[in-house]
Amino acid sequence: MDLQQKIRTLPTSAGVYLYKNAQGEVIYAGKAKNLRSRVSSYFHEGRVEDAKTGTLLREAMDVDYIVVANEKEALALENNLIKQRKPRFNILLRDDKTYPYVKLTLGERFPRVYVTRRLRKDGSAYYGPYFPANLAYRIVDLIHRHSFLQGGPQSISPPPLPAVLHQAVSRSLCGGPDHARDLP
């Protein structure tokens, strides 16, 4: 089956498509709300004359796809595939920039929670990626307001125990830190 025929059989759901060269190497990864429509758009008039698209289509011998539940999953999967495979025609997401994650440092005496864009094998728990990016910051802010976990990648010593107890008592018994002054 040639490339054009294969494209006509693609599903109309969201997903990630992978153009491959004659050696089977991924040369381009892209995301789509509708796989069939997006991949076939490369062959419309005018697209082949574009230098990058024309070269891509001349080298592409096959196309694979991965179906996902929605556009956000496609975005995350595309990002991860580009980082792993480093396709020649994807130039924007090959660097170290990525979507933000929430990091919980489990290996420390006083665990911290903060936003990071770098995943490391350091024994910490990572949650994400988050779209839009400010969602990760809002989640960390929520965690800091409602827990004793500290933030920031810098090392911070724990708060003194009386301050921690005062904060816990004022939040749970008085309805918040503003009512703590009403305590006997």
The token duo for 99 is 């979507």
DSSP H or E segment with residue 72: helix 71-85
* Per-residue pLDDT in tens (0 to 9) along the chain, 184 residues: 788 899 999 999 999 999 999 999 999 999 999 999 999 999 887 776 778 888 999 999 999 999 999 988 898 899 889 888 989 998 765 555 678 889 999 988 888 999 998 888 899 999 888 878 889 999 998 888 887 666 665 545 555 555 555 565 555 555 544 544 444 4
- Reported as a single tens digit per residue, the pLDDT across 156-173 is 555 555 555 556 555 555
Closest to 52 (Cα-Cα) out of 85, 8, 90 = 90
CA distance 184 to 39: 69
Give pLDDT, residue 154: 53
- Beta strand pairing call for 15-20 and 62-67: antiparallel
Closest to 125 (Cα-Cα) out of 149, 95, 148, 98 = 149
CA distance 101 to 129: 5
Indicate the pTM of the whole model. Answer: 0.61
CA distance 116 to 64: 32
CA distance 181 to 170: 9
Give pLDDT, residue 61: 94
Give pLDDT, residue 117: 87
CB of 180 closer than 8 Å to CB of 172 = no
The token duo for 74 is 């496609």
Give pLDDT, residue 76: 85
